[in-house]
């Protein structure tokens, strides 16, 4: 593993940074957060610049970049608001599942359009009664002629309401011997009759938005079943390492933004006749924030490197997700303290990083579940 980024990686980071800084200015992001609006025109520009292609396999119209390049993408795109990285992450997650398991015809129909940004993917596994215990889901799908008919309810689906979006839905198609059997994955266009999407009123992650979805006998064509009937649980598990490394990179980007803001503030704000950054206690808080971010960077890079090298990385991916998400909460909490009362106003972005970061230890498998997975890898 090299500690030096390649010339291509440096250029990639600079190109992403340039686009993100020009399109996602602080005042625009504040407005999108206030209004709960995802700027689809900016997403289109990101897609045009090839950001979405990076997470779509090359055989299906993408670039299929290695994870070590994708973490640069996610880190930089998350800097203005983590939801930009979440949106692209959802495309990667869905694209990988389709590429690995869907019928060839479906892959050719969907993936090139995802790579171009014409079509989006979101993912709905969680239900009101099944969160961490996701395999307890009860949304059902039954065959009716050539079609499938879905019934049930999903919750906490990120960005499912976006225009031109297809939802990857996990539904029960049979009662298996274990709860993990009999689950299938479907591709569901989000504008079908019988499908209702309601935006949840949430404290953070307001740009992409969180939704609940009601399926009232939603009819989908038979070929929107992904892969084999009843194998969905295995498909979901296939890319969990990838998702966890992606999330770690997202949170690394957010934490860097929080540190930058806290540092700038500490260098500027004067109390008792000197800059607050000159108080040792504040300086040490900033030193701790920077140190944790550096540790997070290398944990994420190490997990990505193992992933790209084909080495086992289940433990490292969970560790990176666990550490970086908890680090983000420590860093944003410290940032809020450093900005004092001003942090409490929406004139500063710290409160948004803090609010958005609150979900980091919950979504994508809670910290408790990550610890459980790591303990299992330790043989417990």
Ligand X SMILES: Cc1cc2nc3c(=O)[nH]c(=O)nc-3n(C[C@H](O)[C@H](O)[C@H](O)COP(=O)(O)OP(=O)(O)OC[C@H]3O[C@@H](n4cnc5c(N)ncnc54)[C@H](O)[C@@H]3O)c2cc1C
The DSSP 8-state label assigned to residue 55 in this structure reads G
10 Å Cβ neighbour count for 314? 16
Can you tell me the distance from the alpha carbon of 357 to that of 34, in angstroms, rounded to the nearest whole number? 17
Burial 292-301 (b: 16+ CB within 10 A, else e): bbeebbebbb
Tell me which of 65, 158, 165, 190 binds ligand X, using CB under 6 A.
158
User: Minimum distance from CB of 76 to ligand X (Å)?
Assistant: 21
Tell me which of 180, 189, 366, 377 binds ligand X, using CB under 6 A.
366
Nearer to ligand X, 99 or 322 (CB): 322
Nearer to ligand X, 160 or 339 (CB): 160
Is residue 50 close enough to count as binding ligand X by CB under 6 A? no
Q: Which residue in 41, 63, 67, 52 sits closest to 16, CA to CA?
A: 52
Can you tell me the distance from the alpha carbon of 350 to that of 339, in angstroms, rounded to the nearest whole number? 8
Nearer to ligand X, 65 or 158 (CB): 158
Applying CB under 6 A, which part among 118-126, 143-151, 239-247, 297-305 lies near ligand X? 118-126
Tell me which of 156, 186, 265, 305 binds ligand X, using CB under 6 A.
156
Applying CB under 6 A, which part among 70-78, 126-134, 301-309, 311-319 lies near ligand X? 126-134
The DSSP 8-state label assigned to residue 118 in this structure reads S
Applying CB under 6 A, which part among 91-99, 122-130, 240-248, 274-282 lies near ligand X? 122-130
**DSSP three-state, residue 256:** helix
Structural contact between residues 282 and 288, judged by C-beta atoms closer than 8 angstroms: no
Q: With left for phi above 0 and alpha for psi between -120 and 50, is residue 209 left, alpha or beta? A: left
Tokens for 290, please give them.
């920077």
Is residue 157 close enough to count as binding ligand X by CB under 6 A? yes
Tokens for 210, please give them.
């969180």
Question: Which residues within the stretch 270-309 sit at the binding site for ligand X (CB under 6 A)?
Answer: none
Is residue 205 close enough to count as binding ligand X by CB under 6 A? yes
Q: Which residue in 206, 248, 226 sits closest to 72, CA to CA?
A: 248
Structural contact between residues 322 and 370, judged by C-beta atoms closer than 8 angstroms: yes
Name the residue number minimizing CB distance to ligand X. 131
Is residue 161 close enough to count as binding ligand X by CB under 6 A? no
Number of residues that bind ligand X (CB under 6 A): 18
Nearer to ligand X, 156 or 305 (CB): 156
Q: Which helix (H) or strand (E) holds 7?
A: helix 7-23
**N-to-C CA span, the chain:** 29
User: Minimum distance from CB of 341 to ligand X (Å)?
Assistant: 27
Is residue 126 close enough to count as binding ligand X by CB under 6 A? yes
Is residue 107 close enough to count as binding ligand X by CB under 6 A? no
Question: Which residues within the stretch 25-44 sit at the binding site for ligand X (CB under 6 A)?
Answer: none
Nearer to ligand X, 48 or 164 (CB): 164
Can you tell me the distance from the alpha carbon of 197 to that of 208, in angstroms, rounded to the nearest whole number? 14
Applying CB under 6 A, which part among 1-9, 56-64, 142-150, 153-161 lies near ligand X? 153-161
Give me the residues that bind ligand X (CB under 6 A), please. Answer: 123-126, 131-132, 156-158, 205, 210, 359, 362-363, 366, 368-369, 372
């Amino acid at each position: 593993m090299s500690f030096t980024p390649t010339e291509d990686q440096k250029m990639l980071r600079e190109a992403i940074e340039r686009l993100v800084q020009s399109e996602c200015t602080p005042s625009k992001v504040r407005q999108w957060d206030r209004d709960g609006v995802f700027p689809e025109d900016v997403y289109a520009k990101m897609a045009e610049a090839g950001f979405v292609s990076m997470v779509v396999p090359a055989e299906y119209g993408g670039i299929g970049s290695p994870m070590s390049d994708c973490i640069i993408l996610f880190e930089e795109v998350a800097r203005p608001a983590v939801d930009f990285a979440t949106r692209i992450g959802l495309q990667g997650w869905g694209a990988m599942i389709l590429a690995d398991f869907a019928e060839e015809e479906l892959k050719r129909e969907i993936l090139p359009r995802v790579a171009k940004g014409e079509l989006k993917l979101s993912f709905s596994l969680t239900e009101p009664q099944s969160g961490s215990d996701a395999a307890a889901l009860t949304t059902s799908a039954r065959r009716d002629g050539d079609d499938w008919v879905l019934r049930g309810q999903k919750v906490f689906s990120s960005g499912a309401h976006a225009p031109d979006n297809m939802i990857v839905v996990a539904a029960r198609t049979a009662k298996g011997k274990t709860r993990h059997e009999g689950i299938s994955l479907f591709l569901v266009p989000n504008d079908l009759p019988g499908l209702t999407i309601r935006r949840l009123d949430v404290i953070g992650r307001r740009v992409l938005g969180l939704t609940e979805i009601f399926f009232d006998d939603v009819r989908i064509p038979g070929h929107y079943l992904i892969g084999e009937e009843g194998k969905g649980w295995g498909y979901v598990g296939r890319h969990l390492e990838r998702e966890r490394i992606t999330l770690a990179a997202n949170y690394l980007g957010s934490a860097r933004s929080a540190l930058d803001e806290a540092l700038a503030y500490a260098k500027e704000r004067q109390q008792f006749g000197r800059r607050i950054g000159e108080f040792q206690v504040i300086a040490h808080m900033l030193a701790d924030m920077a140190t944790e971010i550096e540790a997070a960077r290398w944990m994420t890079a190490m997990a990505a490197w193992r992933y790209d090298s084909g080495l086992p990385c289940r433990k490292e991916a969970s560790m990176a997700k666990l550490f970086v998400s908890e680090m983000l909460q420590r860093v944003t909490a410290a940032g809020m303290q450093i900005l004092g009362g001003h942090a409490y106003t929406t004139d500063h972005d710290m409160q948004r990083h803090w609010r958005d970061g609150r979900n980091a230890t919950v979504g994508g498998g809670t910290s408790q579940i990550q610890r459980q997975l790591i303990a299992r890898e330790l043989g417990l």
